[in-house]
């Protein structure tokens, strides 16, 4: 099963979902804002993606954090990401063999080749 995690109001998430639909790839949509995210799932993503690819430092939430909150997030991001899923770089695409952060048609095409 292919899953895409994101936030409905995010333009990049909408582009990724449109790309998947246009390519005829069935997928499940999980809205991080309404559905939330588990620490266990974040731990899996962290193993694959690393902290730098998981934390969205361009998000409004990050910009609203003070220096102390940013440092705490960088030191131990998982509890903060559970509480503030808008800090997660998105969309997150999960396939049976790959996890990707962000959207690139070329990366999606390569990751999903034959995975429909």
Give 47-90 pLDDT, tens digit per residue.
Answer: 999 998 999 999 999 999 999 999 999 999 999 999 999 999 99
Answer yes or no: is pLDDT of 10 > 90: yes
Q: Compute the distance between CA of residue 87 and CA of residue 62 in angstroms, rounded to an integer.
A: 7
The single-letter DSSP state of residue 59 is S
Tokens describing residue 12:
């990049």
Question: What pLDDT is attached to residue 115?
Answer: 58
- Tokens 């690819």 -> residue: 53
Give the global pTM.
0.91
Element (H, E) at 80: helix 77-83
Catalytically annotated residue among 4, 7, 10, 87: 10
Q: How many CB atoms lie within 10 A of CB 81?
A: 24
Which residues have a Cβ under 8 Å from the Cβ of 27 and sit 6 or more positions away? 1, 2, 3, 4, 17, 20
Tokens describing residue 68:
């102390």
Question: What pLDDT is attached to residue 113?
Answer: 84
Answer yes or no: is pLDDT of 116 > 70: no
13 classed as catalytic: no
Predicted confidence band at 114 (pLDDT cuts at 50, 70, 90)?
low
């Amino acid at each position: 099963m292919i899953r895409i995690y994101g936030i409905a109001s995010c333009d990049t998430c909408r582009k990724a979902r449109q790309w998947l639909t246009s390519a005829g790839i069935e997928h499940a949509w999980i809205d991080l804002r309404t559905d939330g995210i588990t620490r266990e799932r974040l731990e899996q993503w962290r193993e694959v993606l690393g902290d730098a690819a998981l934390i969205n430092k361009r998000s409004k939430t990050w910009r609203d954090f003070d220096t102390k909150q940013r440092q705490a997030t960088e030191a131990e991001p998982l509890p903060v990401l559970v509480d503030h899923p808008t800090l997660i770089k998105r969309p997150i695409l999960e396939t049976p063999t790959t996890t990707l952060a962000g959207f690139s048609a070329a990366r999606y095409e390569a990751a999903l080749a034959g995975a429909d």
